[in-house]
Structures are given as structure tokens and as C-alpha cells.
Amino acid sequence: MKRLSLLAFAVAAQLQAQTAPGGRPAIPNGLLGYTFCRGGLAETWIRADIVGTPQAEEVLAHEAVHRQQAGAAPSCEAFFAGLASARRVVEVEIPAYCAQWRVVERRGADREATLREYALRISAQSGAMENRLDVLAMLRAGCPERETEQ
């Protein structure tokens, strides 16, 4: 399945100033969905062409985590403003990608291959490649393997 980057926090703040027809933020090229602040609340948009698809389920699971994270912050805007370092972006992306992983896990996806792909995405989004953060190790630790049913 072709997978594209799901969220780029670096562009989220810029999107708040850019709007598409109807007053909604413009969806950046290459993203299937993203979360942003509107009226002080976190809101998620996904591309219309993926609504109702398995990809939409992944995007919505991922973005639900970001909405929860923003809701737990002093304000939605403060949450996004706090994403000022590679380490902080990695910290908020790991739980979101873990939620996304649980969706693809149910479909039988290969854990290691998927986590490597997610680690590469997170590294690219956050600048962690340049900072030499071991995102894959952090992701493995943050997404424990499913416990066996007894």
C-alpha cells in the first residue's frame, strides 16, 4: 500500500494563515490529513479522496492522538507552538504512529517493516536525522508488541 506522510507539524502553523475556499485551511500537497487549531480547538482534516478507505482509518487513528495531545495542553495553539525541537516532534509523533500501527497491525502488516517506515517518516518530519536521534529505537519502545491473548 502506498503510504504518504500524514502530518507535518512544521507546516501546521503556516496552514492556519492559509485558507482554501470556504475558510478551511488548505491541505498541503502529499499529506493525507493533518490536525490544526481553529477557534482554540484541535481539528482534523483528511483528503476527500481517501474518506471511507483503509488509509482514512489509519489517518484518523493517528490524528486522534494529536487532537488528544492538543486538548491536554494549556491551549491548542500552545501545543503546536511547543513543537520547536526535533525531540519534541518525535515525542508527540510516536504515540500517533503507534495508534496508526494498531490499525495496520489488525490487517496483518509486518511490524518491523512498518515501524522502520514510520521511523523514517518521523525522522524526516522532525529533523531527527540531522540530530542523530534513534527514532526507530524510540518507536519500538513506545509501541510495545501486542500482548498474546490467554
Q: pLDDT category, 23, cuts 50, 70, 90?
A: low
Q: What does DSSP say about strands 33-38 and 41-46: parallel, antiparallel, or unpaired?
A: antiparallel
| Residue pointed to by grid coordinates 495496520 | 104
Give domain status of residue 52, yes or no.
Answer: yes
Q: In total, how many domains does the chain have?
A: 1
pLDDT in tens, 37-62: 999 999 999 999 999 999 999 999 99
Give domain status of residue 4, yes or no.
Answer: no
The pLDDT of residue 3 is above 60: no
Count CB-CB contacts under 10 A for residue 95: 16
Q: How many CA atoms lie within 13 A of 88 on its CB side?
A: 10
Q: Could you list the residue range(s) of the whole structural domain that residue 24 is in? A: 9-142
Give domain status of residue 19, yes or no.
Answer: yes
Strands (E), 2-148: 33-38, 41-46
Give domain status of residue 114, yes or no.
Answer: yes
Give domain status of residue 1, yes or no.
Answer: no
Identity at 76, one-letter amino acid code = C
State pTM to two decimals.
0.79
